[in-house]
Amino acid sequence: MLKLPKIKAVFDRKKKASAITTGVVEIEIVFNRTRRKVLSTGIELYSNQWEDGLVVRHAESKKLNKQINELIRKYESIARSILQEGDEITYQTFSAALERKSGKYGTDFINFCYDVMDRRGLRASTLRAHKCTLEALRESKTIRTFDDLTPENIKRFDMWLKQQDPDREQPTIYNYHKRLKPYINEAVSLGIIDESPYLRFKAERGKHKPKEALNEEELAAVRALELFDESLGKARDLFVFCCYTGLAHADMEAFDFSRDVVTVHGCNYIDKQRIKTGTKYYAPILPPAMAILEKYHYQLPHFSQQAYNRLLKCIGALINTKKNLSSHIARYTFATTVLLGNDVPIESVSKMMGHTRIQITQVYAKILNSSIERQAERLANIL
């Protein structure tokens, strides 16, 4: 008579768990005395959090035990389906049935996402953003397998994003969900999961807090700082360069003076496409930015965006501003303080910024009081 294999949860099979090191909970499927299959649950525990086949002394003990039991029931269901087809349950028949259920990616959802991402042909900047989302998902430990794709776990990921970085704004969190959805939808279309958890979890779009550009005094204070730390000095110089060119961090990283700059009537202009959107832009290299290039012999230093923004926060503290200095604030300062503050027409600003629509520039370009005052004085002299 054909029999079901013995299926049970086992903990710390590799004997790694201790009071400070976690071990893994796995599901062991025993086919016979010499053949067994072990599948990870994605649950990691300390040595004192497992007793008599159950998770104990854990903030989510009830939920984790439920998750383990659901996996056991799932594997038992797969085994029964093999018996119903009249086949013997062996390592090979069970593995084949599991693969049909989970697809060629096994149970690992993140590996599935990377495989789909490689086939999508994403633009470099978009690819970086998607990788950032998947690595955040991996770090959160909320979703690892296809079985973890539940509305409850999506909500846990949402909460993790908020707690992991309290400065992360709701539109940014929304974009994490937006980038994750296509991979989940692909899993649905392939029949790996029945429905998207986003059908029962709605991420709020939210609104960005208004960003404030540096004013002329603050920009002058940044430029005047005497910095003896080499990294801080380089970060400040890059920030100033972007304040006077409008380059985003990705465009600054890819900047090549010999390839990207044209000279017209003795003035240098950056003439290329934005990495993020592929839109053409044409921006002058104003004297403060040119001085930075000369200082570094036309080869700008390089920092990752995370390291760069971390250094900029230190610089913001040194000039005693409450504004959160970042790579984007430099671009914002270029549009408002440097260009609009000196009455450059918004159409020209849009071209220099590489915006696809002038409406985008209007979001950047708040009307400055100083501009209104200058225009009022000009009108008063005319009228």
Give domain limits for the chain. Answer: 6-102, 109-199, 216-382
* Closest of 326, 330, 255 to residue 296, by C-alpha: 255
Residues 6+ apart with CB under 8 A from 194: 188
Please name every residue paired with 362 in a beta bridge, in sequence order, or none if there are none: none
**CA-based torsion, 63, 66, 72, 75: positive or negative:** negative
Strand partners, 25: 11, 43
pLDDT score of 349 more than 80? yes
| CATH number assigned to the domain covering 109-199 | 1.10.150
What is the reported pLDDT for 126?
85
pLDDT bucket at 383, cuts 50 / 70 / 90: low
Residue 264 pLDDT: 94
Reference 337, options 215, 212, 211, 223; nearest CA is 215
Q: Looking at residue 98, what is its pLDDT?
A: 79
Between these two residues, 94 and 154, which has the higher pLDDT value? 154
More confident residue, 108 or 292: 292
250 pLDDT more than 90: no
Instruction: Of 107-116, 153-162, 222-231, 246-255, give the lowest mean pLDDT range.
Output: 107-116
What's the mean per-residue pLDDT of the chain? 88
Q: What is the pLDDT at residue 258?
A: 94
Assess contact for 198 and 177: CB atoms under 8 A: yes
Q: How far apart are CA 325 and CA 378, in angstroms?
A: 34
DSSP run (H or E) holding 323: none
- For residue 29, the cross-strand partners are 7, 37
How far is 18 from 30, CA to CA, in rounded Å? 27
The fold adopted by the segment(s) 216-382 is: hpI Integrase; Chain A (1.10.443)
Measured CA to CA, the distance from residue 146 to residue 113 in angstroms comes to 11
**The pLDDT of residue 368:** 57
| Residue 378: predicted pLDDT | 67
Q: What confidence category does residue 119 fall into, taking pLDDT thresholds of 50, 70 and 90?
A: confident
Q: Given this model, what pLDDT does residue 157 score?
A: 96
pLDDT-derived band of residue 376, with 50, 70 and 90 as boundaries? low
Burial class (CB within 10 angstroms; exposed 0-12, middle 13-18, buried 19+) of 47? middle
What would the pLDDT profile of 261-294 be if each residue is shown by its tens digit? Answer: 999 999 999 999 988 778 899 999 999 999 999 9
Report which residue type is found at 254. A
> Residue 125 has what pLDDT?
74
Which two structure tokens, joined as six digits, stand for 303? 């920092």
Angle, in degrees to the nearest 10, between helices 61-84 and 91-102:
110
Alpha carbon dihedral 165, 219, 348, 300, in 10-degree steps, equals: -70
Q: Where are the alpha helices (DSSP H) in 103-150?
A: 109-120, 124-140
- How confident is the model at residue 170, as a pLDDT? 92
Number of H helices, E strands in the chain: 16, 8
* Of 206, 242, 208, 236, residue with least CA distance to 333: 242
Residue 104 pLDDT greater than 60, yes or no: no
Round to whole Å and give the CA distance between 154 and 148. Answer: 9
Residue 326: predicted pLDDT: 87
User: Given pLDDT bands bounded at 50, 70 and 90, which one contains residue 369?
Assistant: low
Among candidates 23, 22, 26, 50, which has minimal Cα distance to 36? 26
The yes-or-no answer to whether 109-199 and 216-382 have a common fold is no
pLDDT digits (tens, 9 = 90+) for 351-366: 888 887 777 676 665 5
- Reading the block at residue 104, the tokens are 């060629």
Lowest mean pLDDT among 97-106, 174-183, 341-350: 97-106
291-312 pLDDT, tens digit per residue, is 999 999 999 999 988 889 899 9
| Structure token digits, residue 17 | 């768990």
